[in-house]
Amino acid sequence: MSLAKELEKRANNCCELCGSSENLSAYEVPSSPKSGIDASILACKTCIDDFDAETKNANHWRCLNDAMWSTVPAVQVMAWRLLQRVEEDWTRELLEMMYMEDDTRNWAEAAGDGEEKADAVIHRDVNGVPLAAGDAVLLIKDLKVKGSSMVAKQGTAVRRISLDPENEKYIEGKVDGQQIVIITDYVKKI
Ligand SMILES: [Zn+2]
């Protein structure tokens, strides 16, 4: 069976991102560690044309609301990358909710779409372990929260952190219901 045929079967002859059944073709996900059907998705022309568009058609990508829950890693990777690039409040919310296996996340974060990630900001915990958005960390010392009398206690678990895209030393997370900035030197990944 050809790749296109295999994909059509997996995808039930629908675009795996938006569900359209018109102008479908196989699309190989950039920077894939896999090959063949595992590295490709079935996508419609509307989706494929917008992959490289400078200004994304944000409305069209509302379809990612469904596509991100696909069980196919290649689809998850494309959904994640597109959500990253369609910078809207709702895409940020979806990214926070999105779940991927570690392998899939690494693939999604690999340089794709011809963009070099050489200058990427990498956040690391006190032991040098890379941190990703959505990770949980433990505070390894009491931290005074700037601008308030609050102290975030050593041993507090902070779940679903977000990363400061500009500064590799800063992450954010909720402690006692309050969003605070935390320095990566004072956390350990759980
Ligand atoms: Zn589509």
What's the CA-to-centroid distance between 22 and ligand 1, angstroms? 8
pLDDT in tens, 135-187: 999 999 999 888 788 899 999 999 999 999 889 999 999 998 889 999 999 99
What's the CA-to-centroid distance between 95 and ligand 1, angstroms? 19
What's the CA-to-centroid distance between 48 and ligand 1, angstroms? 7
What's the CA-to-centroid distance between 179 and ligand 1, angstroms? 37
**Can you tell me the distance from the alpha carbon of 55 to that of 57, in angstroms, rounded to the nearest whole number?**
7
Q: Percentage of residues in the chain with pLDDT exceeding 70?
A: 95
What mean pLDDT is reported for the chain? 91
Residue 34 is predicted with a pLDDT of 87
**Can you tell me the distance from the alpha carbon of 109 to that of 31, in angstroms, rounded to the nearest whole number?**
9
Residue 166 is predicted with a pLDDT of 85
State yes or no: pLDDT of 62 exceeds 80. Answer: yes
Residue 54 is predicted with a pLDDT of 84
Residue 102 is predicted with a pLDDT of 94
Q: How much is the pTM?
A: 0.60
What's the CA-to-centroid distance between 26 and ligand 1, angstroms? 11
**DSSP-derived 3-state class of residue 68:** coil
**Can you tell me the distance from the alpha carbon of 143 to that of 63, in angstroms, rounded to the nearest whole number?**
41
**Can you tell me the distance from the alpha carbon of 88 to that of 35, in angstroms, rounded to the nearest whole number?**
32
What's the CA-to-centroid distance between 46 and ligand 1, angstroms? 6
**Can you tell me the distance from the alpha carbon of 140 to that of 182, in angstroms, rounded to the nearest whole number?**
11
CB atoms within 10 A of CB 8: 16
What's the CA-to-centroid distance between 37 and ligand 1, angstroms? 17
pLDDT in tens, 18-42: 999 999 999 999 999 988 999 999 9
What's the CA-to-centroid distance between 41 and ligand 1, angstroms? 10
Residue 116 is predicted with a pLDDT of 46
What's the CA-to-centroid distance between 47 and ligand 1, angstroms? 4
Residue 119 is predicted with a pLDDT of 56
Residue 113 is predicted with a pLDDT of 47
Give the CA count within 13 Å in the CB-facing half-sphere of 169.
2
Residue 99 is predicted with a pLDDT of 92
What's the CA-to-centroid distance between 27 and ligand 1, angstroms? 11
Residue 16 is predicted with a pLDDT of 98
Q: Specify whether the CB–CB gap between 169 and 184 falls below 8 A.
A: yes
Residue 114 is predicted with a pLDDT of 47
What's the CA-to-centroid distance between 83 and ligand 1, angstroms? 14
pLDDT in tens, 65-118: 999 999 999 999 999 999 999 989 999 999 999 999 999 999 999 864 444 444
